[in-house]
A and B are shown apart, each in its own frame.
Chain A
Amino acid sequence: MGTLDIGGSQLDATWFLLLSAVLFSLGAAGVLVRRNPLVILISIELMLNAGNLALVTFSRQLQNIEGQLFALMSMTVAAAEAVVGLAILVDIFRVRDAEDVDDLSQLKG
C-alpha cells in the first residue's frame, strides 16, 4: 500500500519520508550547532521544508488533497516566521553586533 505508482515506476513512500527525516535532522543540527542567528533561521526553514515534504508524501499516498493544502498553509507560516525573525534580527543588529547568539543573553536593550 505504501508503493506509489509514478509514471509507471514503483516508488516506496517510505523513501520520501526517510528523505524528509534526514533533512529535518540536518535542520535540527544546524539550529543546535550554529551560533549565527541568521543561519539558525535558515536551518528552521530547512526543517519546515522537510515537514512539507512529509505532508505532500502522505497526501500523494492517500490520494487526498488535504496534505497539499496543509503544506501551502505551512509555507505561509514559514514566510511569516522568516519576515518577523529577520525584522527582529535587523533590529538587534542596529543596537549591537549579534554574530553569536550566545552574546544575546541580556534582555535589556
Chain B
Amino acid sequence: MAIAVFFVAAAIAVIGGIGVVAFHQPIRSVLSLVLVMLALSVIFLLLSAQFVFAVQIIVYAGAVMVLFLFVITLLGPARELGRGRLRYQGGLSALFVLVMLGLMWALLQGVQYRQPEKTDMNFFGTVQSIAVGLFTTYLYPFELTSILLLVAAIGAIYLSRKRIDDL
C-alpha cells in the first residue's frame, strides 16, 4: 500500500516538476509547483513527518505560492517569446543537468546508511517531538530564523516602498 502511494506521489511530483520547466506561461509553472508541493507533502506523511507535512501545505503551497500568484497577476501575463540571446543555452543546460543527475545517481548507488537510532515511532515527527527539539536544543537557530524573517520583511517593505518621484 505504502509502495503504491509512494510511486503515485513520486510520478505526480516528477510530472509537476517537468511542468514547471516546460510551460511557457509563468502561471502554469506556479500551478505545477503547487502540484509538486502537494505530492511532496504526501511523501512527507509517508516518512512520518506529520508536522512538516502540515507546514508544507499551509506555508508553502498556501502562503508562498499565493505570493507568487499575486506577483504574476500584478505584472500581467508574460510569455517567453523567441529565442534567447545565448547560443546553445538549451543544449548546454541539458548536458549539465544530465551530468549532475548521473553523478547524484552514482553517489546513491554507493550510499551506506548508518544504523538508525532506537526512537519511539509513535512519537516521531509529531508536533510535540518537533517542539521539544525546536525549543530546547535548537532554540538558538530558531531565534535566528525569526531575525531572518524580520530582515526579509523589512527588506521587502523597503524595496516596494513608494518613491518620492513616483508621487
CA distance A52 to B74 in the complex (A): 29
Give the number of residues in A that approach B within 8 Å (Cβ atoms): 75
A80 touches B14 (CB 8 A): no
A32 touches B78 (CB 8 A): no
**B1 / chain A contacts, CB cutoff of 8 Å:** 7-9
Known contacts: A13-B113, A68-B49. The answer to whether A49 contacts B36 by CB under 8 A is yes
Chain B, range 1-24, C-beta contacts under 8 Å to A: 1-3, 6, 10, 13-14, 17-18, 20-21
**A65 / chain B contacts, CB cutoff of 8 Å:** 119, 124-125, 129-130, 132-133
Chain B, range 35-59, C-beta contacts under 8 Å to A: 36-37, 40, 43-44, 46-49, 51-52, 55-56, 59
**What 0/1 readout, one digit per residue, does chain A (71-109) give for beta carbons within 8 Å of chain B?**
111011111111110111111010000011010000000
B2, B80, B113, B152: the one within 8 Å of A61 (CB): B113
B17 touches A100 (CB 8 A): no
CB distance from A56 to the nearest CB of B (A): 5
CA distance A25 to B37 in the complex (A): 16
A14, A33, A102: the one within 8 Å of B90 (CB): A33
Given contacts A66-B138, A68-B52, A71-B52, 12 further A-B contacts (CB under 8 A): A6-B46, A11-B3, A14-B108, A26-B17, A30-B29, A35-B80, A38-B78, A63-B121, A65-B130, A82-B67, A93-B75, A100-B85
Interface residues of B (CB under 8 A from A): 1-3, 6, 10, 13-14, 17-18, 20-21, 26, 29-30, 33, 36-37, 40, 43-44, 46-49, 51-52, 55-56, 59-60, 63-64, 67-68, 71-72, 74-75, 78-81, 84-86, 89-90, 92-94, 96-98, 100-101, 104-105, 108, 111-119, 121, 124-125, 129-130, 132-134, 138, 141-142, 145, 148-149, 151-153, 155-156, 159-160
